[in-house]
């Protein structure tokens, strides 16, 4: 008999003040249509299998925490533009397919290292993401409200609907490669570099047209959704048995991952992830031992199925060159088929003198470089990049070619959780990775 998920310890779950309201919300969620389809999850698993074989590269990015207020056409479009531009830069350099997965349409729950937050001598419960409580620093807003799970579902549905329209309805057409480069980016060095690359792509497209190739595949993009599977009541309420295969899928997103704070081997999060058929990720940090890694693989991918498991390493720039090799070596020696993806954000966070949580762009770049060095040294495939970014001109990470100084962080610091790369910094990072990827 399998253990009920509820019998296992589940870290980082809210305590709803009103249990019956939570049960009511879960009942309503269970009746809602799926946000994604099982067949799409299977297709993504196949795409990720190519990543694990070294034949494709994964680009995964989006907000640290989406917000209900952020569900607007401009916000979603700007993030998609940024991802599309990054993907073009990477595809052109790597001459291999780039699998595009957005941290979008479901990234509403946040794990916290501290359960309270203190400001000016006032202590309140920490913000746990819009799916749980409000960001506003008032007692009322920080009370967990289970009705927010339904709002998260609807916000995800609206975001995904818009995303599907954008990527299928002509916006992602490769012939639009110039139009994704907005004016402010066009005036930055990374934007100008992008313009030159877009010009070369245009030329290639004209050549293809001249010889009568006008492939339909250039007009559409395959883009998948992803988020951390953190709030288990929400994720289980959206888990459905697929009528084609009889297997359970978490239909809240195509790809879900288990975070650094919830990957306990005997915990409910890994148990949940082990039971769904979606492609899944797990974060691995500097304290992960080779044995831990093998135990994670055994739990999440006992059949060693290509595309099933992605390790997202988040070591920190100072540690990656020492911490990653023993893990990759162990995985290789044991014949694992997992993909390796670099999250250069979460090991490089610090607090600036102004009190803003930030990251240095140089540290982010350095961790990415370290990630490639490790894989090149071991002869393994640096499979992808997992980043926190936004399509707007925010000032949350320090540095970059259009440099943001620590004392300038306050001018457009808009994140409700971790600092994100802005549009220009994201594009710069893509160019760096492109150089590292060049065959
Ligand atoms: C995140 O991806 O926002 C996150 C909390 O990451 P980690 O679990 O790696 O700390
Ligand atoms: Mn984060």
431's enclosing H/E stretch is: helix 423-437
DSSP tally for the chain: helices H, then strands E: 12, 14
How open is the CA angle 25-29-35, to the nearest 5 degrees? 145
Q: Is 259 in the pocket of ligand 1 (CB under 6 A)?
A: yes
Residue 67 CA, ligand 2 centroid: distance in Å: 13
Assess contact for 131 and 109: CB atoms under 8 A. Answer: yes
Residue 64's contacts (CB-CB under 8 Å, 6 or more residues apart) are 107, 110, 345, 388, 415, 416, 417, 418, 419, 420
36-58 burial by CB neighbour count: b if 16+ within 10 A, else e?
A: bebebbbbbbebbbbbbeeebbb
Q: What is the pLDDT of residue 1?
A: 41
Residue 265's Cα: distance from chain center in Å? 22
Q: What is the pLDDT of residues 251-276, one digit of tens each?
A: 999 999 999 999 999 999 999 999 99
Please report, to the nearest 10 degrees, the dihedral formed by the alpha carbons of residues 201, 422, 130, 367 taken in order.
90
407-422 burial by CB neighbour count: b if 16+ within 10 A, else e?
A: eebeeebebbbbbbbb
Q: Is 283 in the pocket of ligand 1 (CB under 6 A)?
A: yes
By the 10 Å C-beta count (0-12 exposed, 13-18 middle, 19+ buried), 24 is classed as middle
Average of per-residue pLDDT across 161-173: 91
Q: What is the 3-state secondary structure (H, E, C) of 25-60?
A: HHHHHHCCCCCCCHHHHHHHHHHHHHHHCCCCEEEE
Alpha helices in 244-398 (DSSP H): 268-275, 290-300, 320-333, 361-378
- Where does the pLDDT of residue 2 fall: very low under 50, low under 70, confident under 90, or very high at 90 and above? low
Average pLDDT across the chain, whole number: 95
Q: Could you say which architecture CATH assigns to the domain 1-172+221-437?
A: Alpha-Beta Barrel (3.20)
Q: What is the pLDDT of residues 40-69, one digit of tens each?
A: 999 999 999 999 999 999 999 999 999 999
pLDDT beyond 80 at 185: no
Of 62, 228, 390, 417, best ligand 1 pocket probe by most atoms within 8 Å of the beta carbon? 228
Residue 9 CA, ligand 2 centroid: distance in Å: 23
Q: Is 212 left (phi over 0), alpha (psi -120 to 50) or beta?
A: left
Which residue is closest in CA terms to ligand 1's atom 10? Answer: 260
Assess contact for 376 and 315: CB atoms under 8 A. Answer: no
Q: Report the share of the chain in percent with pLDDT over 70.
A: 99
- Residue 415 CA to residue 357 CA, distance in Å, equals 10
Adjacent-strand bridge partners of 387: 61
Residue 421 CA, ligand 2 centroid: distance in Å: 12
**CA-to-CA separations, 342 to 43, 70, 253, 314, in angstroms, rounded:** 22, 26, 21, 7
pTM for the model: 0.97
Q: What is the pLDDT of residue 212?
A: 86
- Where does the pLDDT of residue 170 fall: very low under 50, low under 70, confident under 90, or very high at 90 and above? confident
Q: What is the pLDDT of residue 208?
A: 87
Q: Is 346 in the pocket of ligand 1 (CB under 6 A)?
A: yes
Which residue is closest in CA terms to ligand 1's atom 4? Answer: 259
Average of per-residue pLDDT across 159-173: 92
Q: Is 347 in the pocket of ligand 1 (CB under 6 A)?
A: no
- Residue 406 CA to residue 359 CA, distance in Å, equals 10
Q: What is the pLDDT of residues 240-249, one digit of tens each?
A: 999 999 999 9
Average of per-residue pLDDT across 431-435: 94
Q: Is 64 in the pocket of ligand 1 (CB under 6 A)?
A: yes
Residue 301's Cα: distance from chain center in Å? 20
Which residue is closest in CA terms to ligand 1's atom 9? Answer: 260
Q: What is the pLDDT of residue 159?
A: 98
Q: Is the ipTM of this complex over 0.90?
A: yes
Assess contact for 133 and 125: CB atoms under 8 A. Answer: yes
Q: Is 100 in the pocket of ligand 1 (CB under 6 A)?
A: no
**CA-to-CA separations, 132 to 12, 35, 158, 222, in angstroms, rounded:** 11, 20, 19, 31
- Residue 280 CA to residue 269 CA, distance in Å, equals 12
Assess contact for 384 and 58: CB atoms under 8 A. Answer: yes
- Residue 369 CA to residue 215 CA, distance in Å, equals 35
- Residue 10 CA to residue 296 CA, distance in Å, equals 16
Q: Report the share of the chain in percent with pLDDT over 90.
A: 85
Give the ligand whose atoms come closest to the C-alpha of residue 113.
Answer: 1
Residue 174 CA, ligand 1 centroid: distance in Å: 32
- Where does the pLDDT of residue 202 fall: very low under 50, low under 70, confident under 90, or very high at 90 and above? confident
Average of per-residue pLDDT across 191-212: 88
């Amino acid at each position: 008999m399998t253990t009920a998920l509820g019998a296992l310890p589940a870290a980082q779950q809210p305590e709803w003040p009103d249990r019956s309201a939570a049960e009511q919300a879960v009942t309503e969620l269970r009746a809602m249509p799926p946000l994604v389809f099982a067949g799409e999850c299977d297709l993504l698993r196949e795409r990720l299998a190519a990543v694990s074989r070294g034949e494709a590269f994964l680009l995964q990015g989006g907000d640290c925490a989406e917000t209900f207020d952020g569900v607007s056409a401009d916000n979603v479009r700007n993030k998609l533009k940024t991802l599309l531009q990054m993907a073009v830069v990477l595809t052109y350099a790597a001459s291999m397919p780039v699998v595009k997965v957005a941290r979008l349409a479901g990234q509403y729950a946040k794990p916290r290292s501290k359960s309270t937050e203190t400001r000016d001598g006032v202590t309140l419960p920490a913000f746990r993401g819009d799916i749980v409580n409000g960001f506003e620093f008032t007692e009322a807003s920080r009370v967990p409200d289970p009705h927010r799970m339904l709002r998260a579902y609807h916000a995800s549905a609206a975001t995904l609907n818009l995303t599907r329209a954008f990527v299928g309805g002509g916006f992602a057409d490769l012939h639009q490669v110039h139009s994704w480069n907005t004016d402010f980016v066009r005036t930055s060095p990374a934007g100008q570099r992008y313009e030159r690359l877009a010009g070369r792509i245009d030329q290639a497209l004209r050549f293809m047209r001249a010889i009568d190739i006008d492939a339909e595949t250039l007009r559409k993009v395959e883009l998948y959704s992803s988020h951390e599977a953190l709030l288990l009541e929400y994720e289980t309420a959206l888990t459905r048995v697929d009528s084609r295969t009889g297997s359970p899928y978490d239909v809240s997103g195509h790809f879900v991952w288990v975070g650094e704070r919830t990957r306990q081997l005997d915990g409910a999060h890994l148990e949940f992830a082990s039971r769904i058929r979606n492609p899944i990720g797990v974060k691995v940090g500097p304290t992960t031992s080779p044995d831990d890694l093998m135990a994670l693989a055994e739990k999440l991918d006992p059949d060693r199925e290509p595309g099933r498991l992605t390790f997202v390493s988040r070591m920190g720039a100072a540690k990656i060159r020492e911490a990653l090799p023993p893990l990759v070596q162990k995985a290789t020696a044991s014949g694992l088929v997992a993909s390796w993806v670099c999250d250069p954000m979460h090991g490089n966070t610090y607090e600036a003198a102004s009190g803003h949580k930030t990251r240095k762009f140089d540290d982010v770049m350095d961790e990415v470089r370290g990630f490639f060095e490790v894989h090149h040294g071991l002869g393994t495939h640096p499979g992808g990049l997992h980043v926190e970014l936004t399509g707007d001109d925010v000032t949350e990470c320090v540095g970059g070619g259009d440099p943001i100084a620590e004392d300038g962080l306050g001018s457009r610091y808009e994140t409700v959780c971790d600092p994100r790369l802005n549009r220009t910094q994201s594009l710069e990072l893509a160019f760096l990775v492109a150089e590292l990827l060049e065959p």
